[in-house]
Amino acid sequence: MDGAERRRWLILRGASLVVVVTAWMFVRFRRRCLTRPPITYAPMSAREEQRQNNLNYIYQADDTRCVDLLRMKRAPFFQLCDLLRTRELLKDTMHCNVEEQVAIFLHVVGHNQRFRVINLSFRRSFETISRHFQEVLYAVGELRQEMIQLPSTVVHPKIVGSHRWNPYFKDCIGAIDGTHVLARVPRSIRAAFLGRKHTTTQNVLAAVDFDLRFTYILAGWEGSAHDALILNDALEREDGLRVPPSKFYLVDAGYVVRPGFLPPYRATRYHLREFGARVPQIPKELFNLRHSSLRTTVERAFGALQNRFRILDNKPFHPYKTQVKLDLACCILHNWILRFGE
């Protein structure tokens, strides 16, 4: 046997040995699988049953309970879930469908609950809740273009049907104001976020129409920033605030007079409580009184928003970038509820 034949013989012998060893290991593995006792999933099945009962209690029972827990009725809730699923912004997973993901998010923002509390209600791990929360936050933010739009330029029925405002405010399309939302920031930048009440806040600028819908939102500014500075930033942005020609917004005395923005007269009584039992004595006081009564729209919108989503009225447990996104997401959900019913 020469060298080439011997080398070929050794290769065949080695290959045969590998095949025999592999077959022996496979047979041994199969025997172990057949003799191993089956894994029982009874504890997980009980946990899954508890989870389904809890979810049915939240959004399958009645509208009252759904509003209490998720801040909206069942119809707009399921419409929102169907929209996010249709656009593939959210997907059903093997163990968690879109409805449960959205319910987790709404439960957090509606009641300012921590993930460690939510995982007891939904029987989910901390990581699963955190992941779905971020996914739903991103998905809701993708609805910004269609849910936060410029108001109509048609004279609003609220103005047309009132002798106090028509025709003086017939070209008014809404009101603008800023609100301070409690914020949690690192200690290194805390001084810039200290607001008037010596708490860390972010100053959120919003434009609201007379149906209490948000038509523009700019979040993320420090609590110490002046409203006029934030308005300038909103106007200079490429996708910022735009005022239709010959229309205007109502603003408070903290803003300067400029085209498209109408503040009240300064050094003149403004709010109704300042008049007491008296009536306006001069035209400027009458104008300020009617200006104030119409501009309360934006204050009512802020009140409804913060009452519906308690995460905006308490210090959140999220990084600051997430807090800014939550302001926008809550305004989008607020408009969604007003459009499709509470």
Best CA proximity match to 109, nearest among 299, 316, 303, 338: 316
Q: Are 175 and 250 in contact (CB under 8 A)?
A: yes
Q: What is the pLDDT of residue 118?
A: 84
Q: What is the pLDDT of residue 12?
A: 77
Q: What is the pLDDT of residue 44?
A: 58
Q: What is the pLDDT of residue 274?
A: 61
Q: Are 214 and 335 in contact (CB under 8 A)?
A: yes
Best CA proximity match to 331, nearest among 313, 305, 300, 308: 305
Best CA proximity match to 254, nearest among 232, 238, 276: 232
Q: What are the residue ranges spanned by the domains of the chain? A: 42-142, 149-317+334-340
* Mean residue pLDDT across the chain: 86
Binned at pLDDT 50, 70 and 90, residue 90 comes out as: very high
Q: Count the Cβ atoms, other than its own, within 10 Å of residue 108.
A: 26
Q: What is the pLDDT of residue 210?
A: 93
Q: What is the pLDDT of residue 275?
A: 66
Q: Please say if the pLDDT value at position 43 is more than 70.
A: no
Q: Please say if the pLDDT value at position 266 is more than 90.
A: no
Q: Please say if the pLDDT value at position 232 is more than 80.
A: yes
Tokens of 102: 């959205």
What pTM does this model have?
Answer: 0.82
Q: What is the pLDDT of residue 14?
A: 76
Tokens of 181: 């939302």
Binned at pLDDT 50, 70 and 90, residue 277 comes out as: low
More confident residue, 133 or 283: 133
Best CA proximity match to 193, nearest among 164, 223, 172, 221: 223
Question: What is the pLDDT averaged over residues 148-163?
Answer: 90
| Helices 115-122 + 126-141 axis angle, to 10 | 100
Q: Please say if the pLDDT value at position 69 is more than 90.
A: no
Q: Are 256 and 228 in contact (CB under 8 A)?
A: yes
